[in-house]
Amino acid sequence: MGSYTVFSFLGTTLDRARTEEKRWGKWRPNIALCQHEELPIKKLILLHPPSALPLLHLVCRDIAIVSPTTTIEPVPLEVNDPWEFEEVFSALLDFSSTYPFEDKEEYLLHMTTGTHVAQICLFLLAEARYFPAKLIQTAPVEHDESKKGSYRIIDLDLSRYDTIAQRFSFRKREKLSLLKSGIETRNEDFNRLIEQIEFVATNSPDPILLTGATGTGKSHLARQIYEVKRTHNKVLGPLVEVNCATLRGDSAMSSLFGHTKGAFTGAATARAGLLLSAHKGVLFLDEIGELGLDEQAMLLRALEEKRFLPMGADREVTSDFQLIAGTNRDLRQCVREKTFREDLLARIDLWSFHLPSLRERREDIEPNLEYELSKISGRLGMKVSFSTEARLLFLSFANKTEWYANFRGFNASITRMGTLSAHGRITENIVRDEIQRLKRQRGEPPPEEDTVFLPLQLTDSLDPFDRAQLEEVVRVCLRSSSLSEAGRELFSVSRTRKKVSNDADRLRKYLSRFGLTWDGIRSGISVTLTTVDMTNREEPAPLEYSED
Ligand SMILES: Nc1ncnc2c1ncn2[C@@H]1O[C@H](COP(=O)(O)OP(=O)(O)O)[C@@H](O)[C@H]1O
Ligand SMILES: [Mg+2]
């Protein structure tokens, strides 16, 4: 059994007895602590107020009686107010930062004495491992002549409490997945960004600016941020969402700031306006770059003073809302072009987060694919999934292509394929058609000139030199009606020098080096690939003539 070093506060109330004579008839935590044979205490570090010296001396004397082997090390702790959290915390933090803890020692923190504030501070410091110690609590026991009472040791090392640790991490994931809609995104930058946004959403009422190209998820994220704020009780009011591009002309002012009855011709009834509706909630101004300059000025004042003047009103109204703004514009450029107020920008970009385009987070294509499939499955009322080959083909395309509307374009593509799938099965043909559709949408060349999409595991293991060659070979195979026809075209020069033509055989051998077969290519080039271990594949020979 080890022997402990204990940190404890001198109990200026609990360690004190009414008279010196009667003190042995009272349970005193620090003396009681040192009375348990099975809990040998090598050293007791007694933190005490410098003014409590007489009590300190008495306690030291009594401990020497009940536990002669315990060394006592008194440490005066200078705090003006032992109920003042910051002061106590920094005094204890300073102490723990300079204390020479040793690995092989066993430390305990006695939690029974000291103010509740001091106990909370000790707990926090132990949890953060500033004190590499377990906690010990002591308590009196009824009808206990010895007055040594009971004790209990608590180990805060949560890794030892699996279920608690799991609940902690589950709570954290729960919140994070709220912002990510439960998608297990893999892109590190994006995940870090989301963690920051979550922290800011939870802890700050200041405006949040979300920037990024169209379809990167700004509007979606704004709604999720509102949910996070609401989960943490940071807002009580509603989410009021408006796309500023729809606020044009005269009605923009009254839509935002409201108007009184008769404020202008046609104002038959009074209108509260969006800012007032967002009171105690969140106002999401999407496309804030589209807001007119007058509205920008009013908005700035409403943000700074939390007050504004509705149209036609003679008294200001108050609205305390949190702002989220979204834009795909470069607002700094707008400031230079004088279409956006510099002071408003300074006010709203305190927390500015840039959402990456799909191109910048290709790792997330697959998790998003899963998510969209489950969404469309729910909508169509049947499980929608890709065949293995179709999935490889689509991912290979999705990884290379430029998604113009980012996730909006990507999601639409999956929705189309899911809708067209018979019995929820997305086949290679559906994927091929979708790829053509996407290319037509972008005005790219028609299918004949089509690029060949080699499966990702294959292209990733090839030099661009070999890839270009293989793509051309596959392209010829796809437009030929037989292996021999493709061979004739591909070996059209060297075959004239041969006595016996063996184009088909040469081509078959070339393809087999990549794990490809004619039939496989014709029915979707990835078919045979899944069975090939690319790591052990011998180096593909260049497509040159060899007499074999
Ligand atoms: N985190 C996300 N999880 C699921 N779907 C998302 C996510 N972010 C965006 N989307 C989807 O992507 C599309 C575009 O998102 P949106 O927020 O409208 O983009 P933006 O406002 O930047 O143009 C929408 O269909 C939206 O549902
Ligand atoms: Mg949007």
Q: Is residue 39 part of a domain?
A: yes
pLDDT band at 477 (very low <50, low <70, confident <90, very high): confident
284 and 207 inside one domain: yes
Of all protein residues, whose CA lies closest to atom 10 belonging to ligand 1? 217
The domain boundary residue, chosen from 160, 185, 203 = 160
218 and 324 inside one domain: yes
Atom of ligand 1 nearest to the CA of 286: 21
In three-state form (DSSP H/G/I as H, E/B as E, the rest C), the secondary structure along 183-242 is CCCCCHHHHHHHHHHHHHHHHCCCCEEEECCCCCCHHHHHHHHHHHHHHCCCCCCCEEEE
User: What range does the domain containing 289 cover?
Assistant: 170-354
- The rounded distance, in Å, linking the Cα atoms of 42 and 75 is 16
CB atoms within 10 A of CB 511: 23
**Residue for token pair 């933090």:** 93
Render 107-142 in DSSP notation, one character per residue.
EEEE-SSS-HHHHHHHHHHHHTTSS--EEEEEE--T
C-alpha closest to that of 374 among 428, 411, 429, 422: 411
389 and 503 inside one domain: no
Compute CA 298 distance to the chain's CA centroid, rounded to the nearest angstrom: 34
CB atoms within 10 A of CB 189: 11
531 and 467 inside one domain: yes
154 and 191 inside one domain: no
| Per-residue pLDDT at 158 | 54
68 and 110 inside one domain: yes
Taking CB atoms and a 6 Å cutoff, what residues make up the pocket around ligand 1? 180-181, 183, 212, 214-220, 326, 371, 407-408, 411
pLDDT, tens digit, for every residue of 84-110? 998 999 999 999 988 999 888 999 999
Question: Over the chain, what is the mean pLDDT?
Answer: 87
Distance in Å, CA 453 to ligand 1 centroid: 27
Q: Quick check: helix, strand or coil at residue 19?
A: coil
- The rounded distance, in Å, linking the Cα atoms of 521 and 532 is 14
Distance in Å, CA 326 to ligand 1 centroid: 13
Of all protein residues, whose CA lies closest to atom 1 belonging to ligand 1? 180
Contact 287, 324 (CB under 8 A): no
pLDDT, tens digit, for every residue of 44-77? 999 999 999 999 999 999 999 999 999 999 999 9
332 and 220 inside one domain: yes
| Per-residue pLDDT at 526 | 44
Query: The CATH number of the domain where 101 resides is what?
Result: 3.40.50.10770
pLDDT (average), residues 517-537? 53
- The number of folded domains in the chain is 4
Query: The CATH number of the domain where 417 resides is what?
Result: 1.10.8
Atom of ligand 1 nearest to the CA of 180: 1
371 and 346 inside one domain: no
List beta partners, residue 154: 135
| Per-residue pLDDT at 176 | 60
184 and 288 inside one domain: yes
pLDDT, tens digit, for every residue of 17-42? 988 889 999 999 999 999 999 999 99
188 and 308 inside one domain: yes
Neighbours of ion ligand 2 (CB under 5 A): 219, 286
| CA dist 189 → 298, 364, 405 (Å) | 36, 11, 20
pLDDT band at 169 (very low <50, low <70, confident <90, very high): low
Atom of ligand 1 nearest to the CA of 212: 22
CB atoms within 10 A of CB 104: 5
131 and 235 inside one domain: no
The overall longest dimension of the chain from CA atoms, in Å, is 122
Question: How many residues comprise the chain?
Answer: 548
Ligand nearest to the CA of 372: 1
**Higher model confidence: residue 15 or residue 458?**
15
pLDDT, tens digit, for every residue of 258-317? 998 887 877 788 888 999 999 999 999 999 999 999 999 999 999 999 999 999 999 999
